[in-house]
Amino acid sequence: MVISSIAERLVRGVETVSDTVSEALFEPVIRLGVTGLARSGKTVFITSLVANLLDRGRMPGLVAAQEGRIEAAFLQPQPDDTVPRFDYEAHLAVLTGPAPHWPDSTRAVSELRLSLRVRPGGLLAGLQGPRTVHLDIVDYPGEWLLDLGLMDKSYAEWAAETLARLRARPEAAEYLAALSGTDPDARHDEPQAQALARGFTAYLETARAAGYSDCTPGRFLLPGDLAGSPVLTFAPLPVSGPSRRGSLLREMERRFEAYKSQVVRPFFRDHFARIDRQVVLVDALGAIHKGPQAVEDMRHAMADILGAFRPGRNAWLNRLLLGRRVDRILFAATKADHLHHLQHPALTAIIEALTREARDRAQFAGARTEALALAALRVTTEEMRAHQGRELPCVRGTLLEGGRQAAFYPGALPQDPGQLLGPARGGATAWLNDGFQAMTFAPAPMQLKPGDGPPHIRLDRAAQFLIGDRL
């Protein structure tokens, strides 16, 4: 443990030095992390951001583009040979092809390098030639950040905390029943270990569906290519003393440590620790539609996710970061094209309030933060429609189900976000008024003018906040 962290520190030290040298002498690299919970809009965001940085006709809010200082933008092989490449071309093709549709779910880390040749602005304008800035975009599931809390825990501590939580939840009854017939000191028996792990995973799935956000270990719910492997075949057992050799308990301890060192640690070391700028995508409209409990759960999950960006919170992470940190974090409510722009300020206020606690902490730690409502791919148009003597601000698009064109008014969002978050915090199970409808629109076939990227809402503002100062 000690040896590996010293070695890690040395490697990180060398990396940091070489990063700084190459940054000063050669070409600066910005590593942009894109995260969010499942279905929050990460893949669509990255695809549209890259397309709109390659063709900048719709990016007036990105100052360097507006000033015409970006001379060229091109995709390059990424620097990390072992990370899957973000499949930009395939995602763009499904979104903008002749029969457009939404991309499939992606459940792992991926990366893409976009390089920009930029002429300096301001005082340096006439003095320096163009330089190349590399933007490395890293897509990773927000759920993985939740595992940070495991790193400073032993198996016994983790198991005790987890079991205490399970005992208070009806969703865990089945797992706890299976546990009551289990002797942790008995000889390790693989079918029994697997049955326990399956039972525990089933509990995590039910708990997540019921709206709990503390469903860790995160990879149990998003196993990817680790499904069925021993690092995911453990479960919490009651621990009353040191484990015996060859016992079930000893094997569970071993696998828990393997999960930490072979799943959690590499993610934080190889991906998280190297990020400079971060965008956290939030499907706030989806949560509001599901009701107060989903909103409250999302608020908790955001606070947990953002805890990872607060240096000092976790001793293990501090050692890994070596003083490095993310210096800008953007919180973006996605899919804002579900709303007429008259309702966007209300959505922005909600995302601000939803992440306020977490933002205050990050601010405290010196990172700049901003919250905004955006649509990475705008698939609707706006119109006002008369309804019972009132003009309702609607959006029109192609419905995902049935493919029909329809105009749609989702319902009122309160001007004061407290009206949503208050009941959610107080444990309400339904909104007092008519609630908020959600509608899924399909991407529409589009014809892009040369030089224009796909249509969006405020993607340029997001880009300016995230990278504009470095261009």
Ligand X SMILES: Nc1nc2c(ncn2[C@@H]2O[C@H](COP(=O)(O)OP(=O)(O)OP(=O)(O)O)[C@@H](O)[C@H]2O)c(=O)[nH]1
Q: How far is CA 48 from CA 45, 95, 246, 300, 376, in A?
A: 5, 9, 53, 29, 6
Shortest separation between residue 465's beta carbon and ligand X, angstroms: 17
Please state whether beta strands 441-442 and 390-399 pair in parallel, antiparallel, or not at all (unpaired). Answer: antiparallel
Q: Which does 36 bind (CB under 5 to 8 A by kind): ligand X, Mg ion, none?
A: ligand X
R_g (Cα) of the chain, nearest Å? 24
- Of 225 and 434, nearer to Mg ion (C-beta) is 225
Query: Residues 383, 339: contact at Cβ < 8 Å?
Result: no
Quick one: which H or E segment has residue 162?
helix 155-167
Shortest separation between residue 374's beta carbon and ligand X, angstroms: 7
Shortest separation between residue 358's beta carbon and ligand X, angstroms: 19
Shortest separation between residue 199's beta carbon and ligand X, angstroms: 26
Shortest separation between residue 32's beta carbon and Mg ion, angstroms: 15
* Calpha distance 172→335 (Å, rounded): 34
- Of 375 and 471, nearer to ligand X (C-beta) is 375
Shortest separation between residue 306's beta carbon and ligand X, angstroms: 17
Q: Which does 41 bind (CB under 5 to 8 A by kind): Mg ion, ligand X, none?
A: ligand X
Q: Which does 297 bind (CB under 5 to 8 A by kind): Mg ion, ligand X, none?
A: none
Q: Which does 5 bind (CB under 5 to 8 A by kind): ligand X, Mg ion, none?
A: none
- Of 141 and 217, nearer to ligand X (C-beta) is 141
The tokens of 53 are what?
A: 């940085």
- Of 57 and 224, nearer to ligand X (C-beta) is 224
Collect all residues with Cβ–Cβ distance below 8 Å to 116 and sequence separation of at least 6: 53, 70, 72, 73, 132, 133, 134, 135, 471
Torsion angle of C-alpha atoms 142, 104, 204, 425, degrees rounded to 10:
60
Query: Residues 306, 361: contact at Cβ < 8 Å?
Result: yes
Query: Which is nearest to 332 in space by CA: 462, 137, 460, 457?
Result: 462
Shortest separation between residue 205's beta carbon and ligand X, angstroms: 16
Please give the residues from 39 up to 68 whose contact with Mg ion meets the rule CB under 5 A. Answer: 42-43
Query: Which is nearest to 117 in space by CA: 103, 100, 135, 101?
Result: 135
Query: Which is nearest to 109 in space by CA: 321, 302, 275?
Result: 275
Query: Which is nearest to 258 in space by CA: 298, 300, 294, 230?
Result: 230
Shortest separation between residue 332's beta carbon and Mg ion, angstroms: 15
Shortest separation between residue 284's beta carbon and ligand X, angstroms: 12
Residue 233 phi, psi dihedral angles, 5° rounding: -110, 60
- Of 358 and 459, nearer to ligand X (C-beta) is 459
- Of 106 and 213, nearer to Mg ion (C-beta) is 106
- Of 142 and 423, nearer to ligand X (C-beta) is 142
- Of 285 and 362, nearer to Mg ion (C-beta) is 285
Shortest separation between residue 53's beta carbon and ligand X, angstroms: 16
Burial of 267-305, coded b for 16+ CB within 10 Å and e otherwise, reads bbbebbbbbbbbbbbbbbbbbbbbbbbbbbbbbebbbbb
User: ω before 455 within 30° of 0 (cis)?
Assistant: no
- Of 239 and 354, nearer to ligand X (C-beta) is 354
Shortest separation between residue 331's beta carbon and Mg ion, angstroms: 18
Q: Which does 40 bind (CB under 5 to 8 A by kind): ligand X, Mg ion, none?
A: ligand X
Query: Residues 271, 148: contact at Cβ < 8 Å?
Result: no
Size of the site for Mg ion (CB under 5 A): 3
* Cα 131 from chain centre: 31
Q: Which does 39 bind (CB under 5 to 8 A by kind): ligand X, Mg ion, none?
A: ligand X
* Calpha distance 451→146 (Å, rounded): 40
Q: Which does 440 bind (CB under 5 to 8 A by kind): ligand X, Mg ion, none?
A: ligand X
- Of 278 and 464, nearer to Mg ion (C-beta) is 278
Query: Residues 32, 326: contact at Cβ < 8 Å?
Result: no
Give the interface segment with Mg ion, choosing from 89-97, 106-114, 122-130, 361-369 (CB under 5 A): 106-114
Q: Which does 38 bind (CB under 5 to 8 A by kind): Mg ion, ligand X, none?
A: ligand X
Binding track, positions 350-369, relative to Mg ion; x by CB under 5 A: --------------------
- Of 38 and 226, nearer to Mg ion (C-beta) is 38
Give the interface segment with Mg ion, choosing from 103-111, 171-179, 208-216, 433-441 (CB under 5 A): 103-111
Among 106, 201, 216, 278, binds Mg ion (CB under 5 A): 106
**Residues in the site for ligand X, rule: CB under 6 A?**
36, 38-44, 102-103, 105-106, 141, 334-335, 337-338, 375-377, 379, 440-441
Q: Where do contacts with Mg ion occur on this chain (CB under 5 A)?
A: 42-43, 106
